[in-house]
Structure 1
Amino acid sequence: MPAIVPGTVLTTLLNNQKIPDPFWGMNNERIADIYKTGSNYYTYWFTKDFKELPTQNGGQVYLNFRGVNYSCDIYLNGHKLNKTIQKGMFLRFSYNITPFLAKNGDNRLAVLVHPPDVVGNPNGGQGGDGTIARNVGLQYTAGWDWIQPMRDRNTGIWDKVTIQKTGAVRITDEHIVTVVSGVRLPEGAQQPAIIKVSASLSNPTAAAVTGLLSFELDGKTISKSVSLKANSIADVSFNDYSLLNPKLWWPNGYGPQNLYNFKLKFAVNGKSVSDQQVLKIGVRQLTSDYNEHTGSRQTYVNGQKIFIKGGNWVISDAMLRLSDTRYDAEVRYHRDMNLNLIRVWGGAMIERPEFFEACDKYGILVFQDLWGSGDCNGRWQDPQKFDDQWTRRKYPDDHGLFLRSAIDQIKMVRNYASLAIWCGGNEITPPEDILTALRDTILPKLDNTRWFVDYSNSDSMSHNELGGNGDGPYGIQPLSVFWEHKTYPFNSEVGSVGVGDYESLKRFIPTANMVPPVYDEDTHKSKVDSVWDYHKYIGYDTSINKYGKAKNAADFALKAQLVNYDQYRGLAEGFTSHMWDWYTGFIIWKTQNPWTAMRGQMYDYYLDPNACLYGLHNGSAPFHIMYNPINGMVMVANNTFKARRSMMMVVKTYDMEGNEKLLTQVFADINATTVKKYFSIKETIDKAAAKEGVFLSLQLLDENKKVITDNTYWIPDSKGAFSGLQKMKTEDLTASARFIKPGKVEVTLVNKEHNPLAFFNRVSLMDADTKTRILPAFYSDNYVTILPGEEKKVIIDYNLPTGQKKLVVGIDGWNGPLTNRVITIEP
């Protein structure tokens, strides 16, 4: 049958309609699990016919594999290329196939792919029975508390296979290091940066070769003469190069993401190009030190202290359907959340170059775990695990394979500006011999410019006064937890809920199972439909009922968005309010889902954002006005390098009818990279909200009276319920939309004076015929509230799907008309 490469056995079987979609309903239960079938059931041949003529004049042809799970035998035209079985999910391997090409150019490649050596029992534990970790591979494939098991354990040729043609000499393991001394700012002329360049050159031919190795950067070419003996490999380094007035790379929110085109090439006798590598490099320097006041590590870029606002990332797709466009969309969403870091969790993989390219583009630092987790690798006693802790502590079985894989993957991604932190593993160090080799030998030699932390919640990263470090809490929290409860000073995992809206739920829940969870306030338990439970629903507890008991699944999902927005705005604001005092950073568990789960996601598997994303977008804004709902303090956070002066702070309330009351209007200023408290309005707000709740509007205006930052809160009544929201009058919002250019639409929302607020409006770009959302689409803001007499604009960026002609914009608000508004987009 036609195979999907890159891909897994399951992706091919799904594409050929041999299995049902495991992401829909309970379909995953209908697919045979490898633990029961045995490995042979998912052992497959992959074959490929391709044209490639034999080379002339010493030219070489290489067959490159970037990832096979888990072991394989490789045949070209009947010749076995590997002497021993090729093993290791995270090892690239390359074969010189020059001698084995067919004379007529008609070649057949055949690869026999075997599943992981140990497939693990998916018994419902974290990583099943834990034995999946005996491999150097993915641990989530045996199931976790946010995913069901992948039945083939992702067996297959899961990453790219390429043919590479060179002359006699080949370039590998190129390494570019940028040194940016001092404390820099994004603007203005810059002192020089130092660029260090090295690479390995191989000459597999029987003759010596002489030539020029050169690199091109910023319009300049630097060359070095190199002689290579026959059948030899040489490491070559250039003298340090001084790049004048460099355009620096900065994390999201702090400055631009400048990238340089960099070309490294080898020319035989200085004329004929034998091989070249083309890269994009960001010029920046990463450093870190320990903040004794907070008790945690802090990160610097180009000498400037960066407050880390991060998201935990598992993998782009649980079935390894990886693509440049999906990576770009997912990382862009993290940029849109106003985050500046992604942590790649240790139960998955070192991410692909295309992921790092997107992080370079959008200014997202990367905290990269190596393979291992506290759950599988023995940190805790666990009755669901097959082996005891002492045995699990020694996983994986093959330490040499782990270290060879680490060396290879470090070389693969070390040139990306976004890569900031290497980590030994998730919540546990690797075994001592692996840790020692990584820390003392491998990283100092291969990549000594990044901070290495031994494990994700290590004391060396973060240590609170109660003793030690950890992570959490997870799940729904009272907002007071985020604002007033001091947790770990650099929390590597803290998070909440994440159910998508009704449109999202329809993508994977059958109609018969569209039954909202019911929370019992006496027993503190939820009654949950089996499909919701299978897709890892996590309880919203009393928070939905505060908006009125859910009438149906659609009503539940709408109210869940209000909770989502409030939770993640509160999380970001609460942590930011204690910047440099309690915290040097936080990393949300988690911001994306690699399958159709119902927890820990700012957008669903199909790349449809929910209100979590926009609550975070608001609460994590680089320059932001905010309100502490516990003590009533109005505050401003400035996560930029610029002080702000002569701003007007305007604080108002609105009742459910839209009646406005000015509480105060004062001039304000704030220094760079700090948070400032102004005054408390607790008494006033409590009084105004007592009967049925109230809206609180915070704004900062510039000298031209234009809004710099604003924030609208909905405050509950004296009983903690949102009784007023349940009785709001229907708003009379005026909406229009126009094309700015292909791929960009502007939506204008206008609320007339003396109207009630137009509360919590979801804007959706849709197909005009089917009324389904265009995915992905990127909104400058969403779930927006428009005050009486106010106008807001939302910009939508999208890639027009093939064959798509007619688009419309849908608007669905909390107190909007019962039938959703659909607006035609004007030319």
Structure 2
Amino acid sequence: MIKLFTLNKVALISILLLNLVLMTVTSKAQNSYELNSGWKCAPIAQIKEQGTAISNTSYSTAAWMPATVPGTVLTSMVANKQMPDPFYGMNNEQIPDIYKTGRDYYTYWFAKDFKQAIPAKGSQIYLNFRGVNYSFDVFLNGNKLNAQLNKGMFMRRSFNITKWLAANGSNRLAVIVYPPDAVGNANGGQGGDGTIAKNVGIQYTAGWDWIQPVRDRNTGIWDKVTIQTTGSVKIKDPHVITLVPGIRKPEGAQQPAIIKVSTELENATALRVSGTLQYLLDGKKVFKKVTLKPNSTQEVKLDDYTLANPKLWWPNGYGPQNLYDLKLQFVAADAKVSDQQEILVGVRQLTTEWNARTESRQVNINGQRIFIKGGNWIISDEMLRFTDARYDAEVRFHRDMNLNLIRVWGGALIERPEFYEACDKYGMLVFQDMWGSGDCNGRWLDPMKREDQWTRRKYPDDHDLYLASIKDQVKMIRNYPSLAMWCGGNEITPPEDILKALRDTIMPALDSTRWFIEYSNSENMSRNVNGGNGDGPYGIQPLSVFWNERAFPFNSEVGSVGVSDYTSLKRFIPKGNLAAPVYDAATGKTKTDPVWEYHKYIGYDGFIDKYGKPKDAEDFANKAQLVNYDQYRALMEGFSSHMWDWYTGTIIWKTQNPWTAMRGQMYDYYLDPNACLYGLHNGSAPLHVMYNPTDGMVMVANNTFRPKTNMMLVAKMYDIAGKETLITQVFVDVTAASTKRYLSIKKNIDAAAKDDGAFVVLELLAEDKTPLSQNIYWVPNETGEYSGLQKMDNAQLAVSAKALKTGKIEVTLTNGNKVPLAFFNRLSVVDAGTKERLLPAFYSDNYVSVLPGEVKKVVIDYTPVKNAPAPMVSISGWNMAEKFIAVGN
């Protein structure tokens, strides 16, 4: 459960986020539990004893500080107030950087006492690490468990600890964790001096153009530690493949699908073991008799199963995300279950093909082509404070943007199973980069880098470790239906020997049904009309660029600005630094506060000034939301307007931040959405009426598998005072998976908007007059200024709110007749006492405009706080001051 965030103090938020880490105790298996609390840690400089001594319960750790596990050294230091919150102001500058301190400064011992009895004869106890950065030794009850140093951020490690358990059931685990071998100089370059890429690990920790350096380079036991009990045989890395032949639709009876299941079985005993490997799926059992040699691991493939009339899994916007429970078991000869794993199976098949018209690859799911509307994802938290609840919230936001894909960027990590569980749930395909970037790995000449391109091109130093890590991570996540694509690296291939092994050996053997792309802007993915491929544009753009200038036909990175609102800015910018940027049109330069610059602000140029020069930071942030909404609505509308003609998809750079950055985000680090999210929510809708502001063309995008017929298209205008003028209304049809152009209303709009601008309103209505799509544009005057908005009278909007059930509120917005539009209203669910926003919260729509005589309803989902009074709803808009509404029953 995500608790209420009281957001007046950033430090309190950090503590709450850390509490979420400690509260997360989930496991799909009854035979496993997580060691996620009660850890202690100490720097190596303060500890003289060896691990064999430290791991005895008689050794005192009373002077050690509490540790956050999973977490990093810096996470624990911040939690214990030894370091300031690096997300606030310029606090990060106060934290010593490992490049200057040396690796020992962040080399730490971690210790954990836990209860575990010696199991019954034949049973086995395993200690499992899902991720440690960067290398470590493990000790239990005075015994060292590893013969060689465990190395690599992305290697799972498992130890059979049965014979090392204490007779009295009281055990001590001690782990010494060493930082990355090459820590890199955080000199301001992309990935610092680039040497961070010599490791098989995360590259962003040395800094990037959207983040400051992470001072400990994420050293620590950063992922889950579990204790697992099995019988003599353990199930390892099962693999489920689903084949869905033919072209399918989400509804109706289905032809059969094929289910293929295999797994490794490990016999940990010195005896031969016979039994049955079986799985249960949809009420059916599939099984095979197996005999395993002593102390051996064997792969076993079960017979293919034909699943009749399957319930298929579809990406968001195309159909439901059906999931089957598959219970895989090894049953020993005595009929006892030795081990079992429960797997959620999404029945779907992915194929790709070259689209000759667009000159790019297209993605097909269950035989149907999917127009990719994606967002680039870095990581949930730069300090690796991951929780199931946060993953769920972030992926849900992407669903709410009406996106259908998330690209996990290559300078971070192969995402955790909990991320993929959320993507399965919300229908987000995943484009998963492997580790590497053009910046660190030698694509470009770069004076900030320590070593030349030829040397960097060979990174990482240990190719064998890289390949072993890839094999391990592929096995970890290959069963998730959301995983759609593997990518060799960000903007560059890995070294040739690694690429060859990935393409020709590893992926065919371990995960042959997914698309493998050599690198993120490969010509095998996309070629423009002149040949070659690339990314962009980035940053603020005239709206005409998105509509009329052809970008790369499957663009892995294109994006704009993303400053959040004033409430968000106050969470991490000190009061004295809340000064609005000042843009000089004559020089094209912006004067920006140093804290804003430190948090990677990129300029809005003159786009804010078109709404009137901002009076202060609050006015700037409010006007920035108008620009945000317009930018991202136009971006996705522009790409959708050329769907299957110029483009097979696009992926926004980027939709979230793992730190308090001021660019490329649809919601801030604290999970508070801004207008970017709702501009995308509008512009990405599966059935969408839209207007090209450059030529006045009205069109409808139908991004579904069904044609839409007998709809009424209504085009009308409102002046600044709220007077309505009907332009036209006409019955229209649009075929499946297409965009259709109807008519231009440019002359009407130009005439009406000449002096003060105007509002353009487009609607699609069903035969029963039910609204199918509505789009409200605010159009500038003939000089490009929004002069009329600055003359609007106050809105006369009536607002009421009622609780539909616990955690769900319906807000009704009613505008009067013969009054102005109630323009661009932000809704927030807030604590009744403090008036601070409850986060995260999910809105069916936001930044809502209400026409004269119109009624709109917005539904809000949030997590209620136990024993807290009922919340209130805050609303404020362009022409309405903030007010608070009580929530009725």
TM-score (norm 2): 0.92
2:720 equivalent among 636, 650, 656: 656
1:90 aligns with 2:154: yes
Q: How many residues end up aligned between the 2 structures?
A: 825
Partner of 2:73: 9
- Where 2:834 maps in the other structure, the secondary structure is coil
Hey, what does 2:226 align to over in structure 1?
162
Question: Is the contact between residue 62 and residue 94 of structure 1 (CA under 8 Å) also seen in structure 2?
Answer: yes
Which residue in the other structure is 2:649 paired with?
Answer: 585
Write the distance in 1 (CA, Å) between the matches of 2:494 and 2:865: 45
The whole-number CA distance in structure 1 between the counterparts of 2:715 and 2:744 is: 11
Question: Which of 510, 514, 530 pairs up with 1:446?
Answer: 510
Distance in 2, Cα, partners of 1:660 & 1:467: 48
One-letter amino acid matched to 2:541: Q
C-alpha separation between the residues in 2 aligned to 1:707 and 1:594?
37
Residue type of the partner of 1:720? G
2:441 counterpart of 1:384: no
**Other-structure match for 2:883:** 821
What is the Cα deviation at residue 804 of structure 1?
A: 2.8
1:549 partner letter: K
Offset from partner CA, 1:251-294 (integer Å, 9 cap, x none): 00000000001100011116101000011110000000000111
Counterpart of 1:596 in structure 2: which amino acid? T
Which of the numbers 203, 207, 210 marks the counterpart of 1:139?
Answer: 203
Matched residue SS, 1:542: coil
Which residue in 1 is equivalent to 2:294? 230
Structure 2: distance between partners of 1:233 and 1:560: 59
**Does residue 320 of structure 1 match 2:384?**
yes
CA distance in 2: counterparts of 1:656 and 1:465, whole angstroms? 43
Q: Structure 1, residues 29-81: CA drift from partner, whole Å, max 9, x if none?
A: 00000000000000000000011111222110000000000000100011111
Spell out, residue by residue over 1:713-758, the C-alpha distance to the aligned partner (whole angstroms, 9 max, x if none). Answer: 0000000010000110001100000000001000000001101000
**Amino acid aligned to 1:823:** I
1:811 aligns to what?
875
Query: Which segments of structure 1 move beyond 6 Å, counting only runs of 4 or more?
Result: none
Q: Secondary structure at the match of 1:678?
A: strand
User: Which residue type is aligned with residue 106 of structure 1?
Assistant: S
| Residue among 101, 124, 129 paired with 1:37 | 101
Q: For 1:602 and 1:224, how far apart are their aligned partners in 2?
A: 49
Q: Which residue of 1 aligns with 2:8?
A: none
The letter of the residue matching 1:76 is L
Amino acid across the alignment from 2:680: L
Match of 1:786 in 2: 850
C-alpha separation between the residues in 1 aligned to 2:267 and 2:764?
Answer: 64
Matched, 1:78 2:142: yes
Task: Quote the Cα distance in structure 1 between the aligned partners of 2:113 and 2:88.
Answer: 34
Among candidates 268, 278, 285, match of residue 214 of structure 1: 278
CA distance in 2: counterparts of 1:56 and 1:758, whole angstroms: 70
Shift of 1:802: 3.9
Distance 2:641 2:565 in 1: 29
Q: Secondary structure at the match of 2:606?
A: helix
Q: Displacement of 1:803 after TM fit? A: 4.1
Match of 2:410 among 339, 342, 346: 346
Out of 353-362 and 270-279, give the one that drifted further.
270-279
Using structure 1 for the length normalisation, give the TM-score.
0.99
CA contact (8 A) 1:169 1:202 kept: yes
Instruction: Report the Cα distance in structure 1 between the residues aligned to 2:551 and 2:766, rounded to whole angstroms.
Output: 35
SS at match of 1:788: coil
Aligned position for 2:796? 732
Contact 2:823 2:848 in 1 (8 A): yes
CA contact (8 A) 1:517 1:528 kept: yes
Residue type of the alignment partner of 1:711? N
* Secondary structure, aligned partner of 1:541: coil
Look up the match of 1:541.
Answer: 605
1:401 aligns with 2:401: no
1:281 equivalenced with 2:281 (yes/no): no
What is the CA-CA distance between 1:492 and the residue it aligns to? 0.3
Distance 1:204 1:338 in 2: 48
CA offset digits 1:185-219 (Å, max 9, x no partner): 00000000000000010101011111111101001
Alpha-carbon contact 1:374-1:427 (below 8 Å) kept: yes
One-letter identity of the residue aligned with 1:825: V
Maintained 8 Å contact 2:286/2:303: no
Correspondences of 1:179-198 after superposition (within 5 Å): 179-198=243-262
Distance in 1 between residues matched to 2:68 and 2:575, nearest whole Å: 31
CA distance in structure 2 between the aligned counterparts of 1:222 and 1:300, rounded to whole angstroms: 29
SS at match of 1:465: coil
CA displacement 1:498-535 (0-9 Å, x = unmatched): 00000000100000000000000011000000000000
SS of residue matched to 2:726: strand
The answer to whether structure 1 residue 750 and structure 2 residue 851 are counterparts is: no
Deviation, 1:223, is 1.4
**1:2-50 CA distances to partner (integer Å, 9 max, x unpaired)?**
1000000011001111111000000000000000000000000000001
Q: Contact 2:539 / 2:561 at 8 angstroms: preserved in 1?
A: yes
1:323-351 Cα offsets, whole Å, 9 max, x none, are 00000000000000000000000000000
CA contact (8 A) 2:131 2:223 kept: yes
Indicate if the aligned counterparts of 1:203 and 1:209 stay in contact, CA closer than 8 A. yes
**CA positional deviation for 1:800:** 1.2
Partners of 1:486 and 1:771 lie apart in 2 by: 46
What's the CA shift string for 1:277-330, capped at 9, x where partnerless?
011110000000000111100000000000000000000000000000000000
Equivalent-residue separation in structure 2 for 1:480 and 1:392 (angstroms): 39
Q: Distance in 1 between matches of 2:871 and 2:161?
A: 50
Aligned mate of 1:309, from 370, 373, 391? 373
Q: CA deviation at 1:231?
A: 1.0
Q: Show structure 1 runs of 5+ residues with no match.
A: none
Query: Deviation of residue 106 (structure 1)?
Result: 0.9
| Mapped partners of 2:830, 2:766: distance in 1 | 36
- Equivalent residue in structure 2 for 1:503, among 556, 567, 576: 567
Indicate if the aligned counterparts of 1:212 and 1:270 stay in contact, CA closer than 8 A.
no
Match of 2:764 in 1: 700
Distance in 2, matches of 1:781 and 1:718, equals 31
Secondary structure of 2:880's aligned partner? coil
Q: Tell me which amino acid in the other structure corresponds to 2:265.
A: L
Q: CA deviation at 1:805?
A: 2.3
Aligned: 1:177 with 2:207: no
Residue matched to 1:633: 697
Cα contact 2:275–2:331 (8 A) shared by 1? yes
Preserved contact between residue 310 and residue 343 of structure 1 (Cα < 8 Å) = yes
- CA separation in 2, counterparts of 1:573 and 1:350? 31
Cα pair 2:323 2:346 within 8 Å, conserved: yes
Q: Superposed, which structure 2 residues align to 1:411-426 within 5 Å?
A: 411-426=475-490
Q: Distance in 2 between matches of 1:91 and 1:803?
A: 43
Give the Cα separation in 1 of the matches to 2:775 and 2:222.
45
**Alpha-carbon distance between aligned partners in 2 of 1:329 and 1:321, rounded to the nearest angstrom:** 14
Q: Which amino acid aligns with 1:433?
A: D
- The CA RMSD measured in Å over matched residues stands at 0.6
In the alignment, is the contact (CA less than 8 A) between 2:131 and 2:155 conserved in 1? yes
Separation of aligned partners in 1, 2:779 and 2:752: 9
Show structure 2 runs of 5+ residues with no match: 1-64
**Following the alignment from structure 2 to structure 1, what is the Cα–Cα distance between the partners of residues 254 and 868?**
46
CA distance in 2, matches of 1:38, 1:201: 43
